Structure 1
């Protein structure tokens, strides 16, 4: 699942050099700012045909927590 999320990040942020791990945070990824965060969430929701609550989105501290949320919904 992290591979699929990585592909979404590469597409949305237009950067094929992105490598994500469970511990990756927004500070470690170029161009992952608040605006792109919204675009990433929307792209992930669309890809997996799921919806996140605002509370879920605000609770994520790293990519692993985001992926866990996806896994819990698919």
Structure 2
């Protein structure tokens, strides 16, 4: 699976069709990625992939790479590239 679906989620949550997702991307790199939109992002990812994040996972997800690692730990097949 490519990052296309994952990137689409980010673009939708942050309303930015030019946003390019990569493993080192952080909240500081994305306009509007505040605590409120972090929750919106997590909920959108949970809905898209049929998973549930624990509170510590949500808080510890500082980069896109962290989010991908959490998804993989839940059995979601997502590419890192």
Give the TM-score taking structure 1 as reference length: 0.91
Q: Which residue of 1 aligns with 2:19?
A: 18
Q: Which residue of 2 aligns with 1:57?
A: 58
Compute the displacement of 1:72 (Å): 1.7
Q: Which residue of 1 aligns with 2:39?
A: 38
CA distance in 2, matches of 1:22, 1:57: 16
Q: Deviations over 1:26-70 (max 9, x none)?
A: 000111111111000000000000000001111122100111111
5+ long unaligned stretches in structure 2: 77-81
**Equivalent pairs, count:** 74
5+ long unaligned stretches in structure 1: none
C-alpha RMSD over aligned residues: 1.1
Structure holding more helix per residue = 1
Give the TM-score taking structure 2 as reference length: 0.84
